[in-house]
Structure 1
Amino acid sequence: MARKVADCTKAPNEMGCTLVIIGEEDEVLRAAMEHAARVHNEPETDEVRDWIRNDLENESTWLAAHHPTPA
């Protein structure tokens, strides 16, 4: 199973949060939901959970975009 990434820099936020969470999808979703609720005061709702889930990226795609290999 491909690991997933939740990247807080993709979401507009006033605090300039730079948290990145990488792991198995269920772990990332759980940690990102807790982070959204405790740090960003988002409600723990299905709507927020779905938004987070839909925003997850595959780790390999995220790494390629953020850490390109030198030519």
Structure 2
Amino acid sequence: MTNQTKIEEAYVAAHARALQAAEAVRRMIEDQPAPNGDNRIGWDHVGTLRHYAEQLEDLLGTHESEDAGN
């Protein structure tokens, strides 16, 4: 097995892992309660979603910084 083949296999595995993680985050966000008559939401729910958004924005900001350096 060549080094390039190893790199490509590792990339495919990392890509799949990242997509699985992104899908899990999407489901986690969607599972948060919606503000309707049956669900009482509180500031804790707002805080949770703000925390998720902040972490995702940090991740995206890091990625943008890396892209700018290329």
TM-score (norm 2): 0.28
**Greater RCO, CA 8 A, separation 6+:** 1
Larger Rg: 2
Q: Which has the higher helix share?
A: 2
Q: Which has the higher strand share?
A: 1
